[in-house]
Structure 1
Amino acid sequence: MRIGYIAEKQLYVWEDGKTTALSSIRYQNYLATMQSIHDAKSWKTSGTGAMFTGAVDNAPVDPARIHMGLHGLVPDPAGMLYAVELDEVGGLYRRDLDPAAKAEGHVLTRQNLHFGGMDRRGQQLAMCIGSDPMMLHLSILDLDDNEETDITDGDTTECHPSWSPDGSRILCSSAGYARSDSGGIVKLGPYEILAYAPAAGSLDTLCSNPAYDYLVPREAPDGALYCIRQPYDDGEKHDNLLKDIVLFPVRIVKAIGGLLNYFSMRYGGEP
């Protein structure tokens, strides 16, 4: 059995009890390019002129200053297909399983492309992608011709896409945004489970409850639906109504006492 996974911004393959770490060649090349650009401008930060102005900078490019994220990994005849985001560019790449490999295949690259997971069935890749990391939408990429088909849109965000065992539908988690009167986003609603059937072009809701988030949906061969269900948290502080009722008389007395104390200090000079 062979298992590929991502941990701490690193690709890994586990097979027969052995774990092998694989670097993202795209990331390594990007880091080398940034270092080359830095070195090309080194005349500005080296020499007596830079020492005089205090602009000396001989340090190499700090990888921590580069935004790098791995957000998807699926099997591929070449080894694996993975999604990577580097600063303002996102893309899909094919990587073989040789740790010493120096090159990898390019599938897709786009400015401001963000990923929320993906799942593959044959040459059809289900992805949750978008130009805004807060609004990722379900899309299908045909790996034969790189043609994309957008499935969802609007003030929602989708994640965790997965094909059903028979390939008849794609499951994903989806949540909608609430906006203020001025148009700004104020809240993300609870995640529900959607099912898209490519043959019929239909999109249906399978699970929805305002009290819960439904995440990482998977369909078993027998049709059973599995997911992670967790209490929905809207990020707002909810006071305990019973506690408020019990403490209401106490708060009234404190308010009256505070008011009397104010007048006593203002007009009598004593508390």
Structure 2
Amino acid sequence: MGQANVQTIISEFGQAVQQREFQTQQRNGWKQKSMTANLMSGGMPTDGDRHRAARGEAPSSSNVSVAVQGVCPTSADRLLYTLEAGEVGGIFALERFAGTIDVLGKATPLDTRPKTREKRLFHSADFKVDRVDFHPEYQLIACAAIAKDGSANIATMPVNSVHLVQATEGDSIDLAPKWIPGFRKAIVFQSSGIGRDEAGYIVEQRHSTIEQLDLDRQEVVTLASDPKYDLLSPQMTADGTLYYIRRPYVPLRQRARFSQVLKDTLLIPARLVTAVFEWLNFFTRRHTGKSLLAIPQPRRGRANQMLLLGRWVDTAAQIERNRRFGDADSPAIVPRSWELVEQFPHREPKVLDRGVLAFDIGADGQIVYSNGSAVYGVLPGGVAQRLIVDNSIEQVVILDLDNHLN
């Protein structure tokens, strides 16, 4: 078991969305459209952006963010993934093929290296799609469809279709569907109820439980629940063993602490003054090339904050806190209270590791998991070995289930 090869794949659809947005800004007057953002940041389109636009490429920094939310294999040469590009979300396939050219009616190899192409199965601006899983026997896709009101439900779709069928309902957040192997048409997923105010905004979210959806019987059964914890990203093996991530439950109202709300309220006048200063500073820099103050500008935004499994995490603080645990050069980016748990039928949960953000289970029982900074693999009865080190690893998937860890 050693370091794995890494290949970066860029979505052509995502790039096209970014490019169209950039060209629209140019045609309609990017100055008016992004005046507020530019005044606050002092930003202008760079020469590099103009050169990239002339070459038909996306700008270096686009207003449209592109993110892959879930990946799963359907075969050795095909991956399914969910993509979020601005207001558009959908399911796509990445297919690997050998390049060929037609010469006198014969397919002749053009390049011995495998190539990839992106195929759009469907996309929509009405909802976003999160996580995806594939059932090889029934040729069904399962995913989570997230509505604009914040609720989410499990949905399924035949692999050759373009229409999702809602499988769960209710005002809840149902996420992370996973087919149960060796079982009838059934899915495990995480679910949490939500509460809304009179205006319809979400003001509370209950702890996440693990549910089983039997599509043939049209019934949902709770498999695991603990009011003290969120139980997330469940997977079940053919023998009924559950694996999931467990973390302490924090009510939604408590996530925005009173001290922080009070601090933000008191800082409103100062932030208004800062906005006026930035507005004046923009025009000063625009016409003189100099700032009003020759001092470094403060960093803005949540520079070290990442939204991980539905919760904001100060990853920089967690990295420093976790350096004394495990590998010092790849500490967990999430709290150690986020645990990878194994639960046999009618048994108590067993913690396999701490500070875990994502995992996957192979057909042979091998486990691959990540703390956000590295990926580890462990065979049944073995010990964890580090496979790769990288930054901000949010999901891990075993692509070739026949390829054992060696």
Q: Note the 1:156-235 alignment, pairs <5 A.
A: 156-168=172-184, 169-180=186-197, 183-235=200-252
Q: 1:182 to 1:95 in 2, by over 3 A?
A: closer
Q: 1:206 to 1:104 in 2, by over 3 A?
A: same
Distance in 2 (alpha carbons) for counterparts of 1:212 and 1:188: 12
TM-score, structure 2 length as denominator?
0.47
Could you say what the CA RMSD is over the residues aligned between the two structures, in angstroms? 3.2
Distance in 1 (alpha carbons) for counterparts of 2:83 and 2:241: 32
Cα deviation 1:8-32 (Å, max 9, x = unaligned): xxxxxxx993111111111122223
1:92–1:108 contact (8 Å) kept in structure 2? yes
2:82–2:130 contact (8 Å) kept in structure 1? no
Residue 225 (structure 1) shift: 1.3
Q: Which residue of 2 aligns with 1:126?
A: 142
Residue 74 (structure 1) shift: 1.3
Q: 1:113 to 1:101 in 2, by over 3 A?
A: farther
Q: Which residue of 2 aligns with 1:150?
A: 166
Flag structure 1 segments of 5+ consecutive residues without an equivalent.
2-14, 46-55, 239-271
Q: Which residue of 2 aligns with 1:107?
A: 121
Q: Which residue of 2 aligns with 1:73?
A: 71
Matched, 1:91 2:90: yes
Residue 209 (structure 1) shift: 2.1
Q: 1:116 to 1:65 in 2, by over 3 A?
A: same
Letter of the 1:63 partner, please give it. S
Residue 159 (structure 1) shift: 1.2
Higher strand share: 1
Q: 1:36 to 1:167 in 2, by over 3 A?
A: farther
Distance in 1 (alpha carbons) for counterparts of 2:133 and 2:13: 21
Letter of the 1:115 partner, please give it. V
The percentage of aligned residue pairs carrying the same residue is 22
Q: Which residue of 1 aligns with 2:152?
A: 136
TM-score, structure 1 length as denominator?
0.69
Cα deviation 1:218-264 (Å, max 9, x = unaligned): 112221112122221114559xxxxxxxxxxxxxxxxxxxxxxxxxx
Select 2:9's aligned residue among 16, 22, 27. Answer: 22
SS in 1 for 2:7: strand
Letter of the 2:164 partner, please give it. E
Distance in 1 (alpha carbons) for counterparts of 2:242 and 2:21: 46
1:83–1:92 contact (8 Å) kept in structure 2? yes
Q: Which has the larger radius of gyration?
A: 1
Residue 185 (structure 1) shift: 2.6
Deviates more, 1:187-196 or 1:200-209: 200-209
2:74–2:134 contact (8 Å) kept in structure 1? no
Q: 1:100 to 1:110 in 2, by over 3 A?
A: farther
1:114–1:133 contact (8 Å) kept in structure 2? no
